[in-house]
Every structure is written in structure tokens, then in C-alpha cells.
């Protein structure tokens, strides 16, 4: 028997209440689309194959998620039940269980999904519904259950009568169905309700009529099952997830001085004894090594910061900063940069697509673009690596132990050899051999008493 575990994620709705040109499920929470959070949690709970129902903004959703999913197209969004009906060709002939999730519940965890699956399978239910008790259940479907915890029906908020509206047990929108039982009941759905939609929730009543058993799997973790329908709820999900991530990092041994003003992505790794000051935003696939100090206000994205580096007020994108190096304040390290160990990148320095080897100092007001700079060098203040000729970019190479004086232009392509010196103010257009001194500027002349004579007639 095929007892594989499938997940069906509903993501075709427009999300009118978001008032957006972007489909709701790809609005981001902690830097990642809501639907990706849902899929990640399902994957961690051992779901083996995914199908995603797309419709509104289908191409945008597909572009975000990429390959690796069975996409099912729901041409018109006629309700959550209608969305699942579009998945019949995918589910047909399958014997296992399918977890149905909505793409707008980003806070859901793998623990809760696993618990629902075990609950349904182990207790022999034909379906399990994840439910929660809310003080303010407005907007959610209400669970009509009996004393044995069987779910008899789900009534949508808009269709509920006065008495049903008082019920506090709500439908989280997360279900686990035995596939053949779901298929048996799906085709009996109709749209006879306040919204003229095919509600997936009606399947529960239909299953009951067919003598099938539906269990209510209650969770106390009410924040984890909150749906996002508008931007107020989006901000609240962001806040909740941000704290969840921050707390995990703190428990792992990271000092976060002001959690209210620190932003760390879900997939960032931060080593023990790192200290994070307020105003840091750490995103994407970033790792921060042990003992690093992030002084206030850095933005770090998809980068590797090796242990004991110190950063301040800087932007680091798709780059690597080596052990013990310091960056900033106000440095801009752009994609493709590889900074060695014990390097100093000072204030108002921009580095782009360049490598800088160990112990080199680039202390102030310098642009290094498309260059390979050796170790132990000193790049003076105000140096410009002139990498663009108006049409093409060219590379510059600077050897080890080189001393580049202040205000030098290195016009690429050009090579500066090991142990050489470039005099301040030089514009270098030709290669400089090792151990030499290059001076490329007009010689100073002095005209004595010139100023005194200037006004004499
Ligand atoms: C739904 C449930 C409600 C539950 C709540 C939990 C139904 C009828 N109601 O209400 O009982 O308490 O979620 O958050 O299921 N979608 C499609 N195609 C459609 C319509 C919706 O794919 O035709 C998708 C949406 O993209 C969304 C999800 O289904 O991700 C839920 O739709 P939404 O309109 O937000 O349902 P709710 O009104 O929140
Ligand atoms: Ca919703």
C-alpha cells in the first residue's frame, strides 16, 4: 500500500484584503514569502511530495517557488473547496494521507503539522482538523463538535447564526485527510452559502453524512495558526516570527542587546558569543561567526562573516569577511567581494567584486572595484580603482606588501607588483614592477613672492 505523505497548499486566492498587486501568499514575513514558510514547515514534518494550487498571480507565485512542485492551476477562484477539487487529478489513485494547508499561515511549525498527522493516522480518523480556541474567534470558521471530540461540521463566520458565532473553537485551515475518503466527498460540495463559494470546510459535514470520522486536533499554540488576511495581520506575523528567531539565537548563545530593534532572517546562522547591537538587519543565507561584534546599524545579506570580525554601520552583500577583520563605520561591500583575515576596511570605503588578502588596510574614502589586492598592503586615503572606461569594466591587480599613496588613481587594466610604492596623487596607467616607486604627477614648482607681486601694477 502506498502510504506516502502528500501536502496540498492552497495559494490561488487574490487576498483582496491585502490591497496589493502582489498575490497575498508571496508577501514576505522575515524576508521570506509566506507560502515558503508554510512549505518549509511541511517539508520538515516529513511530507514527501507537494502540490501547490495557484491562480491569482500564478506566474509570480511560480517564479518565487521555482521547480520541484506539482503546480495545479485554478482558473477562477471559486473557494477553498473548489481549489482542492482542481487537485483531484493529482490525488486520484493515491492511497496515503494529504495535509491541506493554506498559503497564508506563515507561522505554522513542523511540530504542529506532525502532531496533526500522527493524531489522524494513529487514532484511525478519516480526517483530522487542526483547531484552536480563541478569545476573539471573529472571521474564522467555527467548529461544531460533539462530546467525543468528533468534528460534525465547520460553519464559516459569515454563515454562522448568533449561537454559532459564540463558539470559540475555530478552524485553523490545516487538515489531514485520508486521500480516498476526501475524494469520495469532494464532488458533493456546492456553493450554497453567503459568499457563493465552494468551501473546503463543507467537506467535513459531508464526511459525517457518509459515516466517516473527523477528529478535532486542538492546539494551544494559537499564534502559530494565525492566518494573514490584511497588512495589520502581516505586521503581527512578522513581529511574532522575528521574536521566535531572535529567541532561538539568544538561546544558542548570541547576545542581542535590543531585540525590539534587531532583524535576523530564518536561515541566518550566528555563532556563540556574537554580540549584536541595535539596528542590525541580517538577511538571506548569512552566517556570522563566533565572537563577532556587530555594532549598530549594519545590513548584511547572503554573506559569510568569519569569527571575531567587527562591523559597524555598514552594508555587506553576497561577500565574505575574514576572521578578525574590521569593517566600517560606513563601508559598502558589494557582491562578489572576498575580504581576508585581519583586514581593515575603514570609513566610506566601497569594495565591489574584489578580493583583499590578509592584513591589508583600506582605511578611508576609497573605491576598490574589480581588483585583486595582495596581503599586508596599505591603500591610502582617497584611492580610486578606475575600473570602467565608459564601455567595459577592467581588473586591477595589486601585489603583496604594496603601498598605494593617498589620492592615487589606478586605471585598469593595470598591475602593481609586490613590494612597490605609488606616490600620493599619482594616476597610474602602466604596470609597476616589484620593489619600484612609481610617481605619475606633475612636479611641484614654487614661484617665490608670486602673491605679493600679483597686485602690483
Ligand atoms: C479559511 C477557512 C476558515 C478558517 C480560515 C483560517 C474556508 C472556506 N474557510 O477562511 O474556516 O478559519 O481559513 O485561516 O476554507 N484559496 C485558493 N482558491 C480559492 C480561495 C482561496 O487557493 O478559490 C486559498 C487562498 O490563497 C488562501 C487560502 O486558500 O491561501 C485561504 O483562503 P482565504 O480566503 O484566506 O480563507 P479565509 O476566509 O481566511
Ligand atoms: Ca485566510
Quick: pLDDT tens for 420-446.
Answer: 999 999 999 999 999 999 999 999 999
Probe target for ligand 1 pocket from 173, 225, 237, with the most ligand atoms within 8 Å of CB: 173
Residue-wise pLDDT tens digits, 135-160: 999 999 999 999 888 999 999 999 99
Does the model's pTM come out above 0.75?
yes
Residue-wise pLDDT tens digits, 71-108: 999 999 999 999 999 999 999 999 999 999 999 999 99
- Cα(128)–Cα(131) distance, integer angstroms: 9
Measured torsion, CA atoms of residues 235, 240, 246, 248, in degrees rounded to the nearest 10: -150
pLDDT of residue 28: 96
Grid cell of 305 as nine digits: 562573516
pLDDT of residue 175: 98
Residue-wise pLDDT tens digits, 307-342: 999 999 999 999 999 999 999 999 999 999 999 999
Pocket of ligand 1 (CB under 6 A): 10-13, 25, 53, 74, 77-80, 82-83, 102-104, 140-141, 154, 156, 170-173, 199-201, 227, 229
pLDDT of residue 402: 98
pLDDT of residue 29: 95
- Which residues fall inside 5 Å of ion ligand 2, going by CB? 104, 227, 229
Q: In this model, does residue 457 exceed pLDDT 80?
A: no
Q: How confident is the model at residue 3 (pLDDT cuts 50, 70, 90)?
A: confident
Q: How confident is the model at residue 14 (pLDDT cuts 50, 70, 90)?
A: confident
pLDDT of residue 6: 97
Amino acid at each position: 500500500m502506498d502510504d506516502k505523505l502528500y501536502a496540498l497548499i492552497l495559494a490561488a486566492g487574490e487576498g483582496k484584503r491585502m490591497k496589493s498587486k502582489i498575490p497575498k501568499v508571496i508577501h514576505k514575513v522575515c524576508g521570506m514569502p509566506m507560502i515558503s514558510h508554510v512549505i518549509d514547515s511541511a517539508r520538515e514534518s516529513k511530507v514527501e511530495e507537494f502540490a501547490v494550487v495557484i491562480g491569482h498571480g500564478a506566474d509570480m507565485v511560480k517564479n518565487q517557488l521555482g521547480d520541484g512542485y506539482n503546480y495545479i492551476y485554478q482558473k477562477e477562484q471559486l473557494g477553498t473547496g473548489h481549489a482542492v477539487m482542481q487537485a483531484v487529478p493529482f490525488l486520484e489513485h493515491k492511497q496515503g494521507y494529504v495535509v491541506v494547508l493554506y498559503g497564508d499561515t506563515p507561522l505554522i511549525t513542523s511540530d504542529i503539522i506532525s502532531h496533526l498527522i500522527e493524531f489522524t493516522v494513529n487514532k484511525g480518523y478519516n480526517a483530522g482538523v487542526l483547531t484552536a480556541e480563541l478569545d476573539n474567534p471573529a472571521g474564522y470558521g467555527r467548529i461544531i463538535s460533539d462530546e467525543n471530540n468528533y468534528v460534525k461540521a465547520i460553519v464559516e463566520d459569515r454563515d454562522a447564526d448568533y449561537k454559532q458565532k459564540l463558539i470559540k473553537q475555530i478552524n485553523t485551515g490545516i487538515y489531514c485527510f485520508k486521500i480516498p475518503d476526501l475524494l469520495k466527498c469532494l464532488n458533493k460540495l456546492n456553493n450554497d452559502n453567503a459568499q457563493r463559494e465552494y468551501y473546503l470546510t463543507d467537506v467535513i459535514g459531508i464526511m459525517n453524512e457518509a459515516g466517516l470520522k473527523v477528529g478535532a486536533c486542538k492546539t494551544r499554540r494559537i499564534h502559530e495558526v494565525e492566518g494573514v488576511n490584511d497588512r495589520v495581520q502581516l505586521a503581527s506575523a512578522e513581529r511574532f516570527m522575528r521574536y521566535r528567531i531572535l529567541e532561538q539565537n539568544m538561546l544558542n548563545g548570541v547576545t542581542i542587546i535590543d531585540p525590539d530593534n534587531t532583524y535576523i532572517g530564518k536561515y541566518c546562522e550566528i555563532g556563540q558569543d556574537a554580540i549584536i547591537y541595535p539596528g542590525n538587519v541580517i538577511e538571506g543565507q548569512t552566517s556570522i561567526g563566533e565572537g563577532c561584534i556587530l555594532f549598530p546599524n549594519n545590513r548584511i545579506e547572503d554573506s559569510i562573516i568569519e569569527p571575531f570580525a567587527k562591523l559597524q554601520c555598514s552594508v555587506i552583500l553576497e561577500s565574505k569577511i575574514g576572521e578578525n577583520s574590521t569593517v566600517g563605520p560606513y563601508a559598502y561591500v558589494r557582491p562578489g567581494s572576498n575580504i581576508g583575515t585581519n583586514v581593515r576596511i575603514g570609513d566610506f570605503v566601497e569594495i565591489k567584486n574584489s578580493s583583499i588578502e590578509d592584513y591589508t588596510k583600506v582605511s578611508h574614502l576609497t573605491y576598490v572595484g574589480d581588483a585583486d589586492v595582495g596581503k599586508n598592503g596599505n591603500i591610502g586615503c582617497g584611492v580610486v580603482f578606475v575600473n570602467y572606461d565608459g564601455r567595459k569594466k577592467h581588473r586591477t591587480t595589486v601585489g603583496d606588501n604594496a603601498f598605494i599613496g593617498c589620492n592615487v588613481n589606478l586605471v585598469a587594466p593595470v598591475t602593481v607588483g609586490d613590494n612597490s610604492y605609488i606616490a600620493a596623487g599619482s594616476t597610474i596607467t602602466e604596470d609597476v614592477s616589484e620593489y619600484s616607486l612609481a610617481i605619475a604627477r606633475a612636479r611641484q614648482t614654487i614661484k617665490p613672492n608670486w602673491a605679493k607681486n600679483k597686485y602690483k601694477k
